[in-house]
Structure 1
Amino acid sequence: MPAPVPPLDPAELGAYFSLIEVSSLLRHTVEQQLKDAGGLSYVQFQLLATLGDAPDGSLRMTDLADGVVYSRSGLTYQVGLLERDGLVVRAPSTEDERSTTVALTDAGRDVLGRVFPGHVEVLRQLFLEPLSADDVHALADVLGRVRDHMRTVPPRSARPRPKRG
């Protein structure tokens, strides 16, 4: 029989509940801003922003799914919606014939340009305003370590597929 799991202490429990509540409150406001400014869902924004950060504005579908921690089937659906709206295009990968590449279009860049100012404003007002510069650096460090730890055992949807030689 496995050993009993010790309960969380009050500080651990408080940190967890604060993280969940902050995440929920922030996401709700961000989702509304993205919808109002660009007609985007949160996931669609993540996809476009990730493509916008890619060196040539494109990524393989599997790399995109792994980066945004989204199921491959869900990603296919969302990319289909973005493609229908002319914000991305799909094409066979030039590096791997079994892969599909997704690329940001000029229209996709325009939508990002429309939503980013309001997105940054929401982040500043709701999330960053009560924090000092030192707080932001400390929070980035702490959350970065947690993210990196969690990425060592990612959920199935986020596990990179083995590279085929």
Structure 2
Amino acid sequence: MTVPDFDLGDLQLPEPRQLEAYFALTEAVSLLEHHVEQQLRAEGGISNVQFQLLMALNGAGQLTMTQLADGVVYSRSGLTYQAALLEKAGLVTRGPSPDDERATLVAITPKGRETVGKVLPGHIEVTRRLLYEAVSPADLDRLRATMSRVRDHIREEPPRSAAPRRRRTAGG
């Protein structure tokens, strides 16, 4: 992949191998997420984001909205919308935190745990078929180590929930 001819000032362009790695990663993730999304919707009527939220809650039992937003890297407004959909479906409950009146706790319900149990075997099969079968055990170890380092490096930045909210301007 080549970079189009734009005036980028003093910006140092990525090396071709960096661009190739970046676009291979983003395309592979997009393709995998597409197949995962199809499986989750067909078997459980939930989205990939909703599955991630339910999995986080399945392990923890309950979390604050901020913890969920940081864990699944989702916007506050998007998370509020998704949590409302999950609550309407009876998969989670939301309520005030007894420890912090500003915080909202989200808890998984028995129906939410049942949904996780229903979609998890298919999720495992899709990821096995599309990801794990494509790489050797040694490649998988390298992939895990590399992506863990990348994730940890990126998470050194302040969490999205710590970013100031943008103020809306009049007329926009």
TM-score normalised by length of structure 2: 0.86
Change (3 A) 1:158 1:129: farther
Partner of 2:18: 12
Aligned amino acid, residue 74 of structure 1: G
* The one of 41, 47, 52 aligned to 1:35: 41
Aligned amino acid, residue 87 of structure 1: L
Sequence identity percentage: 54
1:133 aligns with 2:140: no
Unmatched tracts of structure 2, length 5 or more: 1-7, 165-172
Instruction: Give how far 1:159 is off.
Output: 3.6
Structure number with greater Rg is 2
| Structure-to-structure mapping, 1:148-163, within 5 angstroms | 148-154=152-158, 157-159=160-162
Task: Decide whether the 8 Å contact of 2:93 with 2:107 is kept in 1.
Answer: yes
Aligned amino acid, residue 125 of structure 1: R
Higher RCO (C-alpha 8 Å, min separation 6): 1
Partner of 2:4: none
Instruction: Give how far 1:30 is off.
Output: 0.4
Instruction: Show CA shifts across 1:19-45 (max 9, x none).
Output: 011011101000000000100011111
Partner of 1:110: 114
Task: Decide whether the 8 Å contact of 1:66 with 1:160 is kept in 2.
Answer: no
Q: Distance in 2 between matches of 1:75 and 1:144?
A: 24
Q: Distance in 2 between matches of 1:76 and 1:8?
A: 37
Instruction: Show CA shifts across 1:107-152 (max 9, x none).
Output: 0000000000000000000011021111111101100111111112
Aligned amino acid, residue 38 of structure 1: G
Task: Decide whether the 8 Å contact of 1:66 with 1:159 is kept in 2.
Answer: no
Unmatched tracts of structure 1, length 5 or more: none
Instruction: Give how far 1:10 is off.
Output: 1.8
Q: Distance in 1 between matches of 2:148 and 2:47?
A: 25
Task: Decide whether the 8 Å contact of 2:66 with 2:161 is kept in 1.
Answer: no
The alignment's C-alpha RMSD in Å is 1.8
Task: Decide whether the 8 Å contact of 1:61 with 1:102 is kept in 2.
Answer: yes
Partner of 2:124: 120
Q: Distance in 2 between matches of 1:108 and 1:23?
A: 26
Change (3 A) 1:158 1:146: farther
SS of equivalent residue, structure 2 residue 86: helix
Q: Distance in 2 between matches of 1:14 and 1:69?
A: 25
1:70 aligns with 2:74: yes
Aligned amino acid, residue 80 of structure 1: A
TM-score normalised by length of structure 1: 0.89
SS of equivalent residue, structure 2 residue 98: coil
Instruction: Give how far 1:63 is off.
Output: 0.8
Aligned residues: 157
